Amino acid sequence: MTETIDTSTPLGRPIKRKEDAKLLHGRTNWTDNIQLPGTLHMAILRSPYAHAKITKLDVTPALSRPNVIAAYGADELGDLNGSIPCVWPVVDDIVMPDFPSLAKGVVRHVGDCVAVVLATDPVHAADALEAIEVDYEPLPAVVNMQDAIKGGTLVHEDAANNVCYNYPFATGENYDDVKAKADVVVTRQWANQRLIPAFMEPRSVVAAPMGMSDEMTVWSSTQIPHVLRVLMALVTGIPENNLRIIAPDVGGGFGGKLQLYREEVLVTQLARKLGRPVKWTETRSEDMVATHHGRDHIQTIEIAATKDGKILGLKVHLLADMGAYLQIITPGIPILGMFMYPAIYKMDAYDFHCTGVFTNKTPTDAYRGAGRPEATYAIERIVDELAAELDMDPMELRKKNWIKHEEFPFTTVAGLTYDTGNYEAATAKALDLFGMDELRAEQKRRRESGDTVQLGIGISTFTEMCGLAPSRTLGALKYVAGGWEHATIRMLPTGKVELVTGTSPHGQGHETAWSQIASSILGIPVEDIEVVHSDTGRAPYGMDTYGSRSLAVGGQAIKKAAENLIEKARIIAAHQLECSPGDLEFVGGEFKVKGDPEKAQAIGAVAFEAFTAHNLPDGVEPTLQGEATVDPEDFSYPHGTHLAAMEVDTETGKVTLRKYVAVDDVGNQVNPMIVEGQVHGGLAQGIGQALYEGAFYDEDGLPLNANLSTYLIPAAPDLPSFITDRTTTPSTTHPLGTKGVGEAGAIASTPAIINGIVDALRPMGVTDVAMPATPMTVWKTIQSANQAAKGGQA
Amino acid sequence: MIPAAFDYTRATTVDEALTALASSDDAKILGGGQSLLPVLRQRLNAPELIVDCSAIDEIKGIDAGGDKVTIGAGATHHAVMNDPAVKASVELLAQATETVADPQIRHRGTLGGSLAHADPRADQPPVALALDAEFTIAGPSGKRTVPASEFFIGPFETAVGEDELLVSVAFPKYDGWGSHYEKFNRTAQAWSIVGIAAAVRMDGGKIAEARIGLTNVGGTPVRATAVEQALVGASSMAEIAAAAERASDGIEPFADEDADVEFRKHLARVLTKRAVAKAAGIE
Ligand SMILES: Cc1cc2nc3c(=O)[nH]c(=O)nc-3n(C[C@H](O)[C@H](O)[C@H](O)COP(=O)(O)OP(=O)(O)OC[C@H]3O[C@@H](n4cnc5c(N)ncnc54)[C@H](O)[C@@H]3O)c2cc1C
């Protein structure tokens, strides 16, 4: 079936995704599908210990195994054993230990790379790992952050007390002064547990030296081909101009592929050394221990308020688990969250402190939301606790403290200036869709009858910051790269369009949405626009895709590039139509002479003139294209109100999400269907954190559930049909009026779910439930509340 | 992950399978592969020879002649749960099978594979135990039958010998019984934390006879005989609840991330109450 697309206004339409036919028919080009003649397959011997000395490593026995061509440990690899850089040293005195691709004498987490085997097929490479002779002397493992900072066993000799950095940040009035004026102070401690990104397509990388040139081409299942190119050049010493990075079809990332991984460096270095293509594709078992993890903060949060519910100040103390090494932006993740703890609330003082801690676990780094979900969880949970303490309705407390729509732009206590927002509108719509009054009535009935199944209502009125920019702000935060984005739009002689973007989609639907933006400006049908991306050879400039930045930042570049193209075309058209450029208006893809509509030239015709160059005005260069590199004015601040109705079976502890309403304000929408998809996926992941997911370790630092049969991810049958809607408060700092949407669902939903469970159980004396709220956790929480109640009576 | 190398042969008759098994002292039968392949891929086991029995038609049928429903070991979960005779006469088995994994796995995995694998978390073994199924096993010296009470020996250990093949499982007919399989897990596709297989024969609004099997409360499926006895004559929720209190009698559950010993025992009691109530149609 073909859709009829009104090309005059493709913006804001739920056009079906261009990408999907290819994906659904299996005409995909995953990295692992790339088959180059002469390829060597790499297999990795990984540490089974969390912390150990390598007392013996002999790779030579592997060499006599069938089909094996080479094998290396750190010693054999020598200078090619590149170290992974950290590009976000958040403070001057941060400890940044060496992070070699292959461990040098000591392994520091289960999954650490010890040695590699290269064979002519993957099966024999895997088999030959068994032949490597390796002995370990196990060392005590640093697992728990609270113990780690007391000293004792060190993950790295140079990190005293296992501390990577300390980051204090206090803004507004003095917190202690403000606290002294408060009637109520509520303090809580929460574990925002470690999560595994668990994208669908495992990581895979192929590197091939191009025999006839100096070029090295690297295909990788990555979110960041452009950033990867810079980092790979720095790590390997391969001149950047000789490196071409291609991210072919990429099956999800969620931040987990916003990385330069050891395996990418190893494959590239070995392809160079051996002069042959080298390939590595991870197994799921490797992925669960070797792809970076997310979250893992212990949050101590304190809120001070007056007795009538005015929030005065907030104090946050974090322990943030870095894991065993720093990946590219590991230390920065909690700092992104730092700005978001005050969220939508007005207050006078904010006191933040974060300690980054090394442990013998997989390194952490960005995972959907990166810092903002942790912050949102803590603030939205403590606001509920404050409401309970004050015996106020949690929504009333929020209304009393949030920034009112007429107060925007508003500079928060954390120093961010929110351009726009309308929390009242999103909340009113959400309450309407939710049926709050009926649900509260049912909750009352269940409480009164002592029903086994109790009902709770969870609220999350979240905001977040996304599209990190401008670049100078990132510089001030000590982030080593910028926040700009690039687009080039090229009109081809046949009237088709090549839109080159620096964003790097891996499931988001940029090909469709970017075409819609360009189409709305150029008047060229969406299907005549090809979006070129994720290949540094074809799309040389870009900052890639993460942090809900692609539309918020990249969209601006597309708009500006299209406008630049039209300006050039206008000059050519005026010459053809024998009028001055100022006499032309551009409508529906045509230049028309004002007042003489018969005289017109379509943009495609202009493109052909620019191609033949037979009749161009003096001083105008042939070819028709527009380029723009945009550094946005500011972040964008999506927000929304999410409501969850939670059923808790008090006899078994099993929790059921009965109803979920998400009203998001992401500004103007380019394609509401894609927005919808982003919200749904984000919700599933945020709910996953609340109810199902968590990577846990035993006291020796061994992972307890590093597989998909025990690390549970919700699937369709585990989730209700979400009720979603939007309010539209266009961003004023973004020319398209758009904000980000990629992370919103994951940021908003976690506290809504836990607030709902606690609300259901509060009459029993429950004030907190640990995540993930498994049946056993919920049941034990109820048991101890019952015990406490009995103790109180005795 | 990638399994270690192995030899492979495909049998099309029971005899061929037995001959192949006899040819190696480290052979493994492949049924639907839904448990064996994960074991091989994680290199938890590396047999020398795989004897693929998924093409043996003579062990795939379901026969309801006489007073039993006899199910071939090679019948898939999908075939079992949709078979009219199973649904009519061994409904509890159909109900438990429906809760196994997801449709893709149920189209591959077999009843015989599940029973022979004897994973403590598996949903069909307690049904076979509670319903007194009879197992027919073929070996070098012919066929023998083993009652369910002697079939399950330990975790991943059954009465089937290394050189033997489970051929079929015969269930007595339970026409007219009420039944329910109560599976308790965290996500729809996850394994049971605890499962309760309950079948009851009602007489005049009272439970006349009950059969209860418990999943994942020990190394083997457990028959809750104390509950079965206590249920006789029960006609109210209170009586069922009182009887179900005995579901944790004598069980020795293990602890894992999903449930410690105390919680597993608690679940056994609560879920037994619920399963029996549903089977009996008592609220
Ligand atoms: C993701 C996933 C989720 C699952 N969830 C559940 C669940 O919720 N509940 C549940 O009960 N099961 C579950 N299973 C297991 C599933 O039911 C398997 O199909 C079943 O346990 C094994 O049957 P199979 O035919 O696949 O056996 P195979 O994997 O082929 O074999 C399993 C074992 O039995 C032996 N064997 C097989 N057939 C015979 C025979 N005829 N005679 C003697 N030995 C034989 C094999 O040698 C092997 O040791 C799940 C499996 C997967 C992969």
Q: Are residues A344 and A212 in the same domain?
A: no
Query: How does pLDDT run across A52-89, given as a tens digit for each residue?
Result: 999 999 999 999 999 999 999 999 999 999 999 999 99
**A452 touching B (Cβ < 8 Å):** no
R_g of chain B computed on alpha carbons: 19
Residues 278-297 on A with a CB inside 8 Å of B are 283, 285
Q: Which two tokens stand for residue B231?
A: 């249920």
ipTM > 0.85, yes or no:
yes
Q: Are residues A565 and A579 in the same domain?
A: yes
Which residues of chain B lie closer than 8 angstroms to A127, CB-CB? 2, 4-5
Q: Which of A283, A692, A779 sits opposite B187 (nearest CB)?
A: A692
Subunit contact A692:B270, Cβ cutoff 8 A: no
Please say which residue of A630, A647, A669 terminates a domain: A630
Q: What is the reported pLDDT for A773?
A: 98
Q: Are residues A117 and A241 in the same domain?
A: yes
Q: Which two tokens stand for residue A78?
A: 């020598």
What's the number of domains chain A is made of? 3
**CATH 3.30.465.10 is right for the domain spanning B61-171:** yes
In a domain, A754, yes or no: yes
Q: Which two tokens stand for residue A591?
A: 């230049």
Q: Is A450 left (phi over 0), alpha (psi -120 to 50) or beta?
A: left
Which residues of chain B lie closer than 8 angstroms to A713, CB-CB? 187
Q: Are residues A640 and A512 in the same domain?
A: no
Can you tell me the distance from the alpha carbon of A754 to that of A751, in angstroms, rounded to the nearest whole number?
Answer: 5
Q: Are residues A431 and A553 in the same domain?
A: no
Mention every residue, 6+ apart, whose C-beta is less than 8 A from residue A701: A49, A50, A51, A109, A110, A141, A142, A143, A359, A360, A361
Residue closest via CA to ligand 1's atom 47 equals B29
DSSP helix/strand/coil, A644: strand
Subunit contact A775:B184, Cβ cutoff 8 A: yes
Please say which residue of A630, A663, A695 terminates a domain: A630
How far from B62 is each of A573, B69, B129, B173, CA to CA, in Å?
A: 79, 7, 19, 13
In a domain, A9, yes or no: no
Q: What is the reported pLDDT for A793?
A: 58
Residues having CB closer than 6 A to ligand 1 are: B 28-36, 38, 53, 73, 100-101, 105, 108-110, 112-114, 116-117, 119, 122-124, 160, 165-166, 191
Residue closest via CA to ligand 1's atom 52 equals B34
Q: Is A575 left (phi over 0), alpha (psi -120 to 50) or beta?
A: alpha
Can you tell me the distance from the alpha carbon of A294 to that of A334, in angstroms, rounded to the nearest whole number?
Answer: 11
Please return the burial class of A450, using the count of CB atoms within 10 Å of its CB with bins 0-12, 13-18 and 19+: exposed
Distance from CA of A655 to the nearest CA of B (A): 9
Q: What is the reported pLDDT for A6?
A: 45
Q: Are residues A761 and A697 in the same domain?
A: yes
Distance B250 CA to ligand 1 centre (A): 28
Q: Are residues A594 and A727 in the same domain?
A: no
CA count, 13 A, side-chain hemisphere, A321:
31
Q: What is the reported pLDDT for A597?
A: 82
Q: Are residues A602 and A583 in the same domain?
A: yes
Subunit contact A285:B189, Cβ cutoff 8 A: no
Q: What is the reported pLDDT for A10?
A: 82
Q: Are residues A217 and A346 in the same domain?
A: no
Residue recorded with tokens 């028959």: B223
Angle at CA A375, nearest 5°, toward A261 and A696? 55
A656-677 burial code (b ≥16 CB/10 A, e <16):
ebebbbbbbbbbbbbbeebbbb
Q: What is the reported pLDDT for A671?
A: 97
Can you tell me the distance from the alpha carbon of B166 to that of B97, in angstroms, rounded to the nearest whole number?
Answer: 19
Q: Are residues A325 and A276 in the same domain?
A: no
Angle at CA A456, nearest 5°, toward A453 and A462? 150
Which residue range is the domain that position A93 belongs to? 34-139+200-252+257-290
Can you tell me the distance from the alpha carbon of A543 to that of A549, in angstroms, rounded to the nearest whole number?
Answer: 9
Cβ–Cβ under 8 Å, residues A257 and A250: yes
Q: Are residues A509 and A390 in the same domain?
A: no
CATH of the domain at A102: 3.90.1170.50
Please return the burial class of A479, using the count of CB atoms within 10 Å of its CB with bins 0-12, 13-18 and 19+: buried
Angle at CA B272, nearest 5°, toward B268 and B275? 140
Q: What is the CATH number of domain B7-52?
A: 3.30.43.10
**Start and end residues for every CATH 3.30.390.50 domain found in chain B:** 192-280
Q: What is the reported pLDDT for B1?
A: 77
> Which atom of ligand 1 approaches the CA of B183 most closely?
8
Q: What is the reported pLDDT for A212?
A: 78
Residue recorded with tokens 């429903």: B69
Q: Are residues A713 and A615 in the same domain?
A: no
Give me the residues of chain B with pLDDT under 50, please.
none
Between β-strands A204-209 and A216-220, what pairing exists: parallel, antiparallel or unpaired? antiparallel
Q: What is the homologous superfamily of the domain B192-280 according to CATH?
A: CO dehydrogenase flavoprotein, C-terminal domain (3.30.390.50)
Give me the residues of chain A with pLDDT under 70, please.
1-9, 792-794
For a mutational test of ligand 1's pocket, the pick from B60, B76, B105, B162, i.e. the residue with the most ligand atoms closer than 8 A to its C-beta, is B105
Please say which residue of A266, A290, A314 terminates a domain: A290
In a domain, A4, yes or no: no
In a domain, A24, yes or no: no
Please return the burial class of A200, using the count of CB atoms within 10 Å of its CB with bins 0-12, 13-18 and 19+: exposed
Which residues of chain B lie closer than 8 angstroms to A710, CB-CB? 257
In a domain, A149, yes or no: no
Enter the DSSP assignment of B58. G
Cβ–Cβ under 8 Å, residues A692 and A754: no
Q: What is the reported pLDDT for A1?
A: 35
Cis peptide before A409 (omega within 30 of 0): yes
CATH of the domain at A655: 3.30.365.10
Can you tell me the distance from the alpha carbon of A70 to that of A42, in angstroms, rounded to the nearest whole number?
Answer: 9
Can you tell me the distance from the alpha carbon of A647 to that of A456, in angstroms, rounded to the nearest whole number?
Answer: 6
**Start and end residues for every CATH 3.30.465.10 domain found in chain B:** 61-171
pTM of the shown model: 0.97
Cβ–Cβ under 8 Å, residues A465 and A472: no
Can you tell me the distance from the alpha carbon of A333 to that of A371, in angstroms, rounded to the nearest whole number?
Answer: 5
